[in-house]
Amino acid sequence: MIILDSGRVIDPANRIDGTRTVLIDGDHVREVREQAATPAEKLVHQVIDCRNRWVLPGLVDLHVHLREPGEEGKETIATGAHAAAAGGVTTLVAMPNTRPVCDSAAVARFVAARGREAGFARVVPAGAITRGSLGEQLADMAELKEAGCVCVTDDGRPVMSAGVMRRALEYASDLGLPVMVHAEDLTLSSGGAMNEGPVATRLGLPGVPAAAEVTMVQRDLLLAEMFGARLHVAHVSAAGSVRAIREAKERGVRVTAEATPHHLVLTDDAVAGGTPGSTGQPAAEPYDTHAKMSPPLRSESDRKAVVAALADGTIDAIATDHAPHGPLDKQVEFVQAANGVIGLETALALTLGLVRAGELPLTRALERLTAGPARCFALPYGTLTAGAPADVIVVDADREWKVDPQRFHSKSRNSPFTGWTLRGKVTKTFVAGKLVHEEGK
């Protein structure tokens, strides 16, 4: 047995926040108890002193781009899963927009097998909604489910045809698969490079209006309501989307949603080189392409609405949308630059920053990183309940560290948080009772 002795255990699913000792027996949690490790236990078991540490369920990240197969220069399943483990993420859902697209059992099985071989975080594949994610013909979702996919999504692009989306929702509903949507009306967003608003006007950059997201969220909520499937809205960025999801939940529509750390912490001001005043972090360069993503960073009122939605349960999960890109994709003009940033190794510390800033209660924030996302896709992780898989992290919550992407385990360096001083570092990560990452090793 491994005994994590006398840490501050926070397990939101079981409403635990206090000094506890966690017993790991093989691949599962045996017990979380108040009593410290006994002298007798110290003789026969591996006892790890967790005083002055937090002990949490491993994080569950519903939205990760691993780039393998096809773009292994940006990230591989092994390097991405290693970055996950270093960031405390013990389960990640791998997006299907690889080359080839994960629209068949063969690719889904490949991704899962590579994840198992790597032996870091659990790598769970997501399948495509449509073949090649082209938005036309439905993928064989039964085959994808059979191969281990936990949801379907064409993430990276929307399903523009409402008719195709209706059939996708009906089909997925029969199979019990949630449909994750990248909500973007391309007829509104096309040509845009950042959030439409005063900052874009000042910088002379073409804008993507919030309406490009909100109209598609509204459409998909309506379709999910009429045709019965479970909808999951990826990377919510706009206040209008929050309002629509909140109202839909009140009506009983089966919808869940996620938000990314960068949309929780940054606004479109980052494109002009600004950072939110309260963070005290160094400013970026204007037109920094690390502030370019889809959906774009929005206004401060959008950011506030998304944070409030996490606090009140309208948004269920924090997901990174970890999107590795090479220097050639980012060291170009802003309008030409690729969308997306990496996030696996900064998500926890950024979330704890929101807690310290008084924007989110601690237990709520940790729930949205663990049990909340697990619930969205009915995954058996994100809790320290007796008998649950022993995915556990040990965190030095007070440790200050400077973000230096050169030291990341990810193959890519495209973080918008380079140079930021964050607090909270994962020191040990266990997956299925095995130590898969230890800080400094």
Residue 410 token pair: 């990810």
3-state class (DSSP) for residue 55: strand
CA quadruple 355, 360, 362, 366: dihedral sign: negative
Which of the stretches 175-183, 187-195, 258-266, 413-421 binds Zn ion when contact is defined by CB under 5 A? 175-183
CB of 103 to Zn ion, least distance (A): 17
Residue 235 beta carbon to Zn ion: minimum distance, rounded to whole angstroms: 6
Q: Which is nearer to Zn ion, 62 or 360 (CB)?
A: 62
Distance CA 292, CA 337 (A): 8
User: Residue 434 is which amino acid?
Assistant: K
Which pair of structure tokens corresponds to residue 188?
A: 């509104």
Our CB check for Zn ion shows the closer of 80 and 433 to be 80
- State the nearest-atom distance from the C-beta of 182 to Zn ion, in Å: 4
> Are 207 and 197 a contacting pair, CB within 8 Å?
yes
Q: Which of residues 176-195 bind Zn ion (CB under 5 A)?
A: 182
The C-alpha atoms of residue 260 and residue 237 are separated, in whole angstroms, by 8
Which of 296/433 has CB closer to Zn ion?
Answer: 296
Closest-approach residue to Zn ion (CB):
182
For residue 247, give the 3-state DSSP assignment.
helix
Q: Cα 285 from chain centroid?
A: 26
| Longest Cα separation, the chain | 69
Question: Which residue, 2 or 309, is less far from Zn ion as judged by CB?
Answer: 309
By CB under 5 A, how many residues form the interface with Zn ion?
A: 2
348, 369 in Cβ contact below 8 A?
yes
Residue 18: DSSP 8-state? E
Minimum distance from residue 178 beta carbon to Zn ion (Å): 15
- Residues ≥6 apart with Cβ < 8 Å to 163: none
182 versus 425: smaller Cβ distance to Zn ion: 182
- Do the Cβ atoms of 284 and 271 come closer than 8 Å? no
Q: Are 90 and 393 in contact (CB under 8 A)?
A: yes
User: CA angle 173-175-180, nearest 5°?
Assistant: 60
DSSP 150-194: --EE-TTS----HHHHHHHHHHHHHHT--EEE----HHHHTT--E
Site for Zn ion in 140-169 (CB under 5 A): 155
Provide, rounded to whole angstroms, the least separation between the CB of residue 231 and Zn ion.
14
Catalytic residues: 321
Nearer to Zn ion, 104 or 320 (CB): 320
**d(C-alpha 42, C-alpha 165), whole Å:** 57
The least distance separating Zn ion from the CB of residue 153, rounded to whole angstroms, comes to: 8
Give the strands of the sheet with 231-233, arranged side by side. 152-153, 179-181, 231-233, 255-259, 317-318
Q: Return d(Cα 382, Cα 371) in angstroms, integer.
A: 5
Whose Cβ is closer to Zn ion: residue 86's or residue 181's?
181
Tell me whether residue 87 or residue 340 sits nearer to Zn ion (CB atom): 340
What is the rounded distance in angstroms from the CA atom of residue 193 to the CA atom of residue 205? 7
- Smallest gap, in angstroms, from Cβ of residue 326 to Zn ion? 19
CB of residue 418 to Zn ion, shortest distance in Å: 23
| Contacting residues toward Zn ion, per CB under 5 A | 155, 182
